[in-house]
Structure 1
Amino acid sequence: MARHHSALHRKFDIKPIAFRVMKGLTGPYPVLRKAVSFFPDFGWPTAEKVDLREDSVRSFNLLQERYSRQRAFVRSHDVDVVNAHCRFPDPDTAHRVIAFVADVLVPGHTLTPVDYATGKQLAFDTTADSNWHFAYPAPAAFSTRHVKGAVAAIPPYRHYGHLLTDVLMPLAYALHRGALAPGEALTIVTARSVNPMVQSFIEGLRGIGVPLSHVKLAPWERVHAKRYLYARSHCCNLERVFATPEALGYARSVFDAAYADRPRPEAAPRIYLTRGQTRLRQVTGEAELIEGLRGRGFKIVEASWSNHHEQIDWFGEAQTVMAVHGAGLANILWARRQPLLIELMAQNARKSTGLHWAAEAGADYEPVVGGPEGPKQAFSIDPAAVLREVDAILERRPAR
């Protein structure tokens, strides 16, 4: 449950209650679960149904000595989200998994692949329960599309960072590693309303020559795939799921192909990524901070689904990036110049996400904190104090 939810909201949230009721009603009956398209738990199919192509372990770059001071800093008041049910307990490594799974259902209302025999969502790392967001009933059994060949699904994530690092990057990694045979076609399944970045990813794959079909499912439809491409990275620390930096060049080529006709923004050596008028994590004092940063040569930018091509260029060319903790920090993965990432966060609510992404991209990293976190993860800053910290950080960093 998100930190910004009140105790009252958590107590009376109807979704966990509905989940438990539906799980009790459907019980251990895969046929009934398939009839109502409710798949409440995770599992992994039997070995004869799985063609496992890769299960490799990656140790994270944040363990390097160059990040030891920053690592100790973010561990204080750490609020990283940890999956207690993950069967890989080491928070400093991830398992990269590529597999083809036989006989899989993809329901249109959640886009989460399900083992046809057991009615369990495909998950290599856990056998625990899902939740209402990824498992709720819908009339998806009324229309089934049977798709031949390799199939991959992209669930409708709203969080830019998780969509990029947890979903698209592992798929790019699998394709980069040659999961498909030369000339083999891939069908990508999405929701009927497609996220603009996902649409660009699909168009970019076509642009670099991947034979591709795109199936858009309505909530009442489902796909039955004989050969499903499972490409995921698994870590018990959910802030560190990204584990495929080898595929960053491939992913960049995909988006370069998709955005070939888009105008490129003017590059800036220093950028500050503002969250704008978001619901969560508003920063009191940010306006004064922005004015001070402008005086120090920072270009102020804001991310949206419609300007993803600009985000890639901003972060690709910048030498210094500053941003409030949030999904937009994932753009540091597009860095080309091993820049410096300065992350602004609440004093008592620190996460290793930004450090992890920066380290995997080979970037330098410096954390800066404001006041304690309040409702909706908002916090305040002393702009003058933060600017003094930024000045000290920039002075310490050798010119490049």
Structure 2
Amino acid sequence: MARVKSGFRKRFNIRYLRWMLARATIGRIPALQRRYSFYPQAILPEAAATTVLEDARIDLPTLFSAEETDFVRDRCWLYDTLAGTWEGGPTVRIARFSGLIRDAVLLGHVSRIFVPERHAVVVALAQKGQANWNFAKPGKLRPAPSIGGRSFFLMRTDNYYHALFHDLVPIVDYLDRLHPRGMPLTLVVPKSRLATLALGCELIARRFPGVHVAELADDAVAPAAEALWLSFDGGNAEWTFADPAPVRHLAEIFRDHYAVPPGSGRRLFFSRGGSKIRRLLNEEALWEIAREHGFERFEAHAGNHAEQVRNFSQADIVVGVHGAGLGNLAFCRPGTKMIEIFPENFTKSTYLWLSKRLGLDYAFLVGGPGDYDQAFMLDENLFRSALAGALREPI
């Protein structure tokens, strides 16, 4: 099975053993915990919040067709992250929570909010009151200036999709619906190799009065007078916050920044290029088929975000292998066709869910089995038929 580690490999490696040793030593001695900012205890945001802004439970329609429901339940659920117990019904129970945590501490090395009064880090899914090794690590942190007023601490990520839909879209939604207009809000940005994350925060700050941006280094710790927490839980970590209004508002903010003109008619063959993960072994043959139908090949990278926004904004159809770059579907117009390609042994429902939320016309193609790096082949006749059907053109 591609890129899935066994329980043995997850637990018996140097990183995990080092963390377990730290938890058994530093984690049991309060003085050392404070010295190394290592807090293995976890608390749910609902318990940490001193003020609740929103706490809603909604039965949200999945909008899946019968074929899509079978695909998600029978194939994707095995690979979707933290997938719960959805049985394939027409709705899913989601929970949205927004709250304020007063007198908090922001830990740069784990990008977590720490609540001194509860002696715990805030984690959306706190398993038995324990924080896992991503949210609790020992590190000697230097004090940073206090952050007055209200602040939002972004998740540290180098994943483009997560930056858009776990950080930037929820911020825009909060500012549009819940934040008192003009009230100061500091977006605290952790260090990231993903320039889009910092740029998005800067653009949001320009758009909304009272919002400004501050960076918190990995080796820094800062007191925060009032930390904002935003959660969305659909019982499946692939089903992220994606209401149309804030997604389209964020897309508008980026398009305005890059001066992207309105347009349509483009057909994108979205390539993963030289990526090690999930390579299409017969990409050149598939590209030749796509080119016959008027497609242009495009690859996203750190230096061409303006092109990403423009190309997806003007696309009538996008064809591409599952990956973070498909987060650019945020910029597509309703009705845009999306054909997502998977290896047989790694199918996820991330962009099916997103497409349904944004009114895109979604289809999927499943190729052969992927190797450890998920490299795989897609049947060329299947691809040719899918393109012709989507475009209503001769095969």
1:320 corresponding residue in structure 2: 317
- Give, in angstroms, the shift of residue 231 of structure 1: 1.6
- Give, in angstroms, the shift of residue 182 of structure 1: 2.4
Relative to structure 1, the CA distance from residue 41 to residue 289 in structure 2 (aligned partners, 3 Å threshold; closer, same or farther) is: farther
Relative to structure 1, the CA distance from residue 305 to residue 98 in structure 2 (aligned partners, 3 Å threshold; closer, same or farther) is: farther
Distance 2:2 2:20 in 1: 19
1:131 corresponding residue in structure 2: 132
Pairwise mapping of residues 10-89 of structure 1 onto structure 2 (< 5 A)? 10=10, 12-27=12-27, 32-44=32-44, 49-61=49-61, 63-64=62-63, 67-78=65-76, 79-83=78-82
User: In 1, are the aligned partners of 2:265 and 2:315 still within 8 Å (CA)?
Assistant: yes
**Consecutive unaligned residues in structure 2, runs of 5 or more:** none
- Give, in angstroms, the shift of residue 83 of structure 1: 2.9
Kindly provide the amino acid, as one letter, of the partner of residue 140 in structure 2: P
Pairwise mapping of residues 302-321 of structure 1 onto structure 2 (< 5 A)? 302-321=299-318
Relative to structure 1, the CA distance from residue 167 to residue 40 in structure 2 (aligned partners, 3 Å threshold; closer, same or farther) is: farther
Relative to structure 1, the CA distance from residue 388 to residue 49 in structure 2 (aligned partners, 3 Å threshold; closer, same or farther) is: closer
1:226 corresponding residue in structure 2: 225
Kindly provide the amino acid, as one letter, of the partner of residue 250 in structure 1: H
Distance 2:369 2:283 in 1: 15
Pairwise mapping of residues 205-224 of structure 1 onto structure 2 (< 5 A)? 205-224=204-223
- Give, in angstroms, the shift of residue 126 of structure 1: 3.4
1:334-366 per-residue CA deviation (whole Å, 9 max, x = no partner) reads: 222321111110123221112111111111111
2:115 corresponding residue in structure 1: 115
1:356-384 per-residue CA deviation (whole Å, 9 max, x = no partner) reads: 11111111111111101211122122323
Pairwise mapping of residues 1-400 of structure 1 onto structure 2 (< 5 A)? 3-5=3-5, 9-10=9-10, 12-27=12-27, 32-44=32-44, 49-61=49-61, 63-64=62-63, 67-78=65-76, 79-83=78-82, 92-128=92-128, 129-140=130-141, 142-179=142-179, 181-192=180-191, 195-260=194-259, 268-395=265-392
Identical-pair percentage: 26
User: In 1, are the aligned partners of 2:39 and 2:120 still within 8 Å (CA)?
Assistant: yes
Distance 1:85 1:390 in 2: 34
**Match of 1:92, SS?**
strand
Q: TM-score, normalised by structure 2?
A: 0.87
Kindly provide the amino acid, as one letter, of the partner of residue 143 in structure 2: S
Distance 1:40 1:176 in 2: 35
Which range moved further: 95-104 or 35-44? 35-44
Which range moved further: 24-33 or 363-372? 24-33
Count of matched residue positions in the alignment of Structure 1 and Structure 2? 388
Distance 1:92 1:48 in 2: 26
User: In 2, are the aligned partners of 1:37 and 1:138 still within 8 Å (CA)?
Assistant: yes
Distance 1:250 1:360 in 2: 14
Distance 2:59 2:362 in 1: 18
Distance 1:105 1:118 in 2: 12
**Match of 1:294, SS?**
helix
- Give, in angstroms, the shift of residue 283 of structure 1: 1.3
- Give, in angstroms, the shift of residue 4 of structure 1: 4.8
User: In 2, are the aligned partners of 1:186 and 1:211 still within 8 Å (CA)?
Assistant: yes
Relative to structure 1, the CA distance from residue 386 to residue 173 in structure 2 (aligned partners, 3 Å threshold; closer, same or farther) is: same
Kindly provide the amino acid, as one letter, of the partner of residue 184 in structure 2: A
Kindly provide the amino acid, as one letter, of the partner of residue 373 in structure 2: K
**Match of 1:377, SS?**
coil
- Give, in angstroms, the shift of residue 29 of structure 1: 5.8
Relative to structure 1, the CA distance from residue 42 to residue 279 in structure 2 (aligned partners, 3 Å threshold; closer, same or farther) is: farther
Kindly provide the amino acid, as one letter, of the partner of residue 96 in structure 1: R
Distance 2:124 2:206 in 1: 31
Relative to structure 1, the CA distance from residue 267 to residue 310 in structure 2 (aligned partners, 3 Å threshold; closer, same or farther) is: farther
Distance 1:265 1:172 in 2: 22
